[in-house]
Chain A
Amino acid sequence: MENPIVIGIDAGGTMTDTILVDKHGHFKIGKAATTPKDEAEGFLASSLDAAEAWGISLESLFSGVDVVLYSGTGMLNTLLSRTGRRLGLITTKGMEDMILMGRGLQAWADYSYADRLHAVTHAHPDPLVPRRRTHGVTERIDHFGDVVLPLYDADVVTAARALIRDKVDAICIMTIFSHVNPVHEKRIAEICRQEIDRAGAEIAVYTSHEVRPVIREQSRLNSVLIEAYATSRGRRQLRGIEDASKKYGFKYGVQTLLSFGGLTSINHPRLHETMISGPIGGILGAAYIGKLIGNDSLICSDMGGTSFDMGVISRGQTRIENEPLMDRFKLNVPTLHLDTIGAGAGMILKVDPLTRKISLGPESAGSDPGPICFDRGGTEPTIADCDAILGRLNPDYFLGGKVKLQVEKARAAFKAKCADVLGVGVEEAAEGMIEMLEADANNALRRVISGQGIHPSEFTLLSYGGSGPLHLAGCARGIGFKDIITFQFAAGFSAFGCTTADYMRRHSVSTQIDIAARASDDALAAAGSQITGVWQDLERAAVDEMLADGHAREKIRTVPFFMARYTGQLEDVEVIAPLPAVNSADDMRTVLARFEEVYAKANHRVSKYGEAGFSLMELGVIATADKIKPTLVRRPLGTANPASAHKGVREAYIGGRWHRANLYEMDLLEPGHEVAGPAIIEHPATTLVVHPDDRVFIDEWTLLHYIHA
């Protein structure tokens, strides 16, 4: 095989996945445990695993590739462990308690449903800046951007000196309505820098309008704080990755993934935009697969050890979440929308001896100590133990045989802690546990689909993640998808998705442009020229950043977009503008018509409501530059008989009894093959269980289609 051209690495909470891709679209997957203290270790171990699978050395791997993509957890860990920088905050006088008060939902976000109901468990996340290092200064700008109270310079000088005395590493500045008029934030920053110079200190200064000039103070505040707090260590981790790659001969800069689905260099000025990137890769990969198979309505579902993530692409539209949560802080970072429930193979199973109530998780055994069958010290039974007990996992082929599963040990513990307490047989209890997990995921999928207002028969389900295929049959049963697809590279699908991304910048600003339902031509044209002016400013800023990253001007494409709603609504729809500039009333009508079209796709055509008028709440520009991407190979369909991939039979317990299930090697399946259940299709990094009477068909792209009986 030729040398790979792209390495994609997705460092998750437990495992670091690597995918290598050559220009003909051949893949190899590597896996290693994530090493949070020094991510470069896990990065190299995972790369080495993939390189070995490809049959080359690390040196020839890194010296031959054009792109190294890395999305990691360094910044998130800094935030979770509260080991970031020492911050001070200067804000509008009267707003000093904003950090302590937070948003109500920050007190229970990420909790299980039971804990949400029990207010006694609610607690706000620890603040990133203590109250004593928060200073209010007299100033006020109203929502039109007019100065109501001038800035009192003397207040700023006092605050800056106090923070310098407090030996902060960074000063954050966030004033009310700075996204409309940043003049006071700029002046505060200027005074701070003068005072820092005078004191001879080394302190960074961050302003909220530079980090993200978007409405909603609490999220803007959290964004600027997290940028100041967590990104310096995150950048150090990324530099470590870059140094490690260069040591083995890599010639270029390492790229990382933005939460809205693009790539950027690790010198990105707003690095917190890369914090929520792990699961994003899956959606990008899904969009890519959707183009291949000719369906633009897709549900992607990623099941790993801990969580089940679902993303929706609805008639070609991906949903953007504008205020995602990060460690229970609301942020102002546009993010591809994902729904998540706690459901994965690492979920710890508990049975209450008094009530015999069964609960799955929410705790996960993770990779350390892991499920009991890993024999690394785990003592609590998990879903993976049930899979092993029922013969669905191959005890000698887990991670290609690197981990020998101790089935008897798992069986003994599961019997004592679960089956005996429930008073039923081991197999029955184990299958029941798996069915509960699959039912949770199945319900979550139904909920996500019904939220789209589109019939499930339009959607193709893509299932991936290490344990996605293992539980695919139950998760998808009875929903009525148009098609259900999984992949030979299911375990590395998120990393694969990252490799399909382009270089990207996204700049946007909050606006309040209201256009009445029957606006005159003059009013339309005036709104248009205002919009065009903002787009031009944003385009300049985005292009300048990409030029600074070393992209040639002629390779950079820019597309303006806007966030709009019918006047009076509470939520926006993101719309890619049909025109690069709005120069006339007719242009403006074209733009509004496109909004209505997108709105009708995302909701339903009868929900259009133009009589209310239109509000443009945010204007933005996306700048992209192409990157080399993998292509899947199309091969003609061959024989339906999968005998060439057959590797034996094993007893597996499915649907209340033991079956003699045929075993197949996933990588040896060829286009045209058809596998009839009961069967188990194995891959070193994943396992696909085919239930009795169900079938799996391999198509010309070597995608695996699961067909329920």
Chain B
Amino acid sequence: MSAYSKDVIRELVEGTLPWPQTRRIMSAYKDDDRFDKYISVLQDRVAWDDPILLPVGDRLFICDGGEGRVTRCECGHSFGDYRENWKLKAVINVRNTEASLREIYPNSDLPDPDWMEIREFFCPACAHLHEVEAAAPGYPIVHDFQPDLEGFYRDWLGKPLGKPGKETA
């Protein structure tokens, strides 16, 4: 079974691995301990200590802190309980006019703002753009997914989660 060093996984996450090596990893069977190494690479990247349970975006993680399992930005800002849609607590910019859409599509055709708007979700603390969604005007903010954390840890990783707020790194 293949296994890669943590350095290789770090480069894979950062996108600095040479393409032929990346492709070999893509084409091979998944390495057994990828998830653990992946999480520990991410943990090294953040300045806070709460253990990361699951990444849900490039810089957005579900982690286990004193306040329970929360969605947290890489900068440390908490969006609250992971079962709630974190987007509701983000700073939101809606592009629903021709002028505002033209800012991001300067040279091409535009979507019709009567049929589609673009919503951008920023971190209130560090202003990182975490997510963009395109939806019909009036459509509720999309809750991308709510992971079954317990099931994932118990059935797939084979190490059940303890009580919220009690996990250690």
Give the B-binding residues of A (Cβ under 8 A). 112, 114-115, 118, 120-121, 123, 350, 352-353
B169 to chain A, nearest CB (A): 27
Which residues of the partner chain A approach B26 to less than 8 Å between Cβ atoms?
118, 120-121
User: How many A-B residue pairs lie within 8 Å, measured between CB atoms?
Assistant: 14
Q: How far is the CA of A350 from the CA of B27 in the complex (A)?
A: 13
Question: Which residues of A have CB within 8 Å of B23?
Answer: 115, 121, 123
CA distance A118 to B26 in the complex (A): 10
Q: Give the distance in Å from the alpha carbon of A121 to the alpha carbon of B29 in the complex.
A: 14
B contact residues vs A (CB 8 Å cutoff) = 1, 19, 23, 26-27, 29
B27, A114: Cβ atoms under 8 Å?
A: yes
Told that A112-B27, A121-B27, A352-B29 touch, could you supply 11 new A-B pairs with CB distance under 8 A? A114-B27, A115-B23, A115-B27, A118-B26, A120-B26, A121-B23, A121-B26, A123-B19, A123-B23, A350-B29, A353-B1
Question: A residues within 8 A CB of B27?
Answer: 112, 114-115, 121
B5–chain A nearest beta-carbon distance, Å: 16
Q: How far is the CA of A537 from the CA of B43 in the complex (A)?
A: 71
Main SS class of interface, B: helix
Bound together, the chains give a CA A342 to CA B19 distance in angstroms of 22
Q: Which residues of the partner chain B approach A352 to less than 8 Å between Cβ atoms?
A: 29
Closest CB in chain A relative to B82 CB, distance in Å: 28
- List the B residue with the shortest CB-CB distance to A355: B29
Ordered by A's residue number, 14 sampled pairs between the chains whose C-beta atoms are within 8 Å are: A112-B27, A114-B27, A115-B23, A115-B27, A118-B26, A120-B26, A121-B23, A121-B26, A121-B27, A123-B19, A123-B23, A350-B29, A352-B29, A353-B1
What residues of chain B lie closer than 8 Å to A112, measured between beta carbons? Answer: 27
Say how far B24's CB is from chain A's closest CB, in angstroms. 8
- CB of A413 to closest CB in B, whole Å: 13
Give Cα distance in the complex from A114 to B26, angstroms. Answer: 11
Min CB gap B38→A, angstroms: 18
A121 CA to B23 CA, complexed, in Å: 6
Question: Please, how many angstroms separate the alpha-carbon atoms of A115 and B19 in the complex?
Answer: 15
Residues of B within 8 A of A121 (CB): 23, 26-27
Q: A352 to B27, alpha carbons, bound, how many Å?
A: 13
Instruction: Please give me the residue from chain A that is nearest to B27 by CB atom.
Output: A115
In the complex, the chain B residue whose C-beta lies closest to that of A115 is B27
Q: How far is the CB of B31 from chain A (nearest CB, A)?
A: 12
Question: How far does the alpha carbon of A120 sit from the alpha carbon of B29 in the complex, in Å?
Answer: 15
Q: From A354, which residue of chain B is reached at the shortest CB distance?
A: B29
Measured CB to CB, the nearest residue on chain A to B32 is A353
State A11–B132 Cα separation when bound (angstroms). 55
Tell me, in angstroms, the Cα distance from A118 to B28 when the chains sit together.
13
What separation, in Å, do the CA atoms of A228 and B147 have in the docked complex? 55
Question: What residues of B have a CB within 8 angstroms of the CB of A120 in the complex?
Answer: 26
The distance from the CB of B22 to the nearest CB of chain A, in whole angstroms, is: 9
Chain B residue at smallest Cβ distance from A112? B27
How far apart sit A115 and B29, CA to CA, in the bound complex (Å)?
Answer: 12
How far, in angstroms, from A114 to B23 measured CA to CA in the complex? 13
A82 shortest CB reach to chain B, Å: 11
In the bound complex, what is the Cα–Cα distance between A353 and B31 (angstroms)?
11
A327 to chain B, nearest CB (A): 12
Name B19's closest neighbour in chain A (CB-CB).
A123
B2 to chain A, nearest CB (A): 9
What's the minimum C-beta distance from B137 to chain A, rounded to whole angstroms?
Answer: 33
Report the 8 A-B pairs with minimum CB-CB distance, sorted nearest first: A352-B29, A115-B27, A121-B26, A121-B23, A123-B19, A353-B1, A121-B27, A120-B26
Chain B residues contacting A115 (CB-CB under 8 Å) are: 23, 27
How distant is the Cα of A261 from the Cα of B26 in the complex, in angstroms? Answer: 38
Interchain CA distance A118-B27 in the complex, whole Å: 9
**Bound Cα distance A350, B29 (Å):** 9
Output the least CB separation between B4 and chain A (Å): 15
Please name the residue on chain B nearest to A362 by beta carbon: B27
B19 surroundings in chain A (CB, below 8 A): 123
In the assembled complex, the CB of B111 is this many whole angstroms from the nearest CB of chain A, namely 25
Docked Cα-Cα span, A353 to B29, in Å, equals: 10
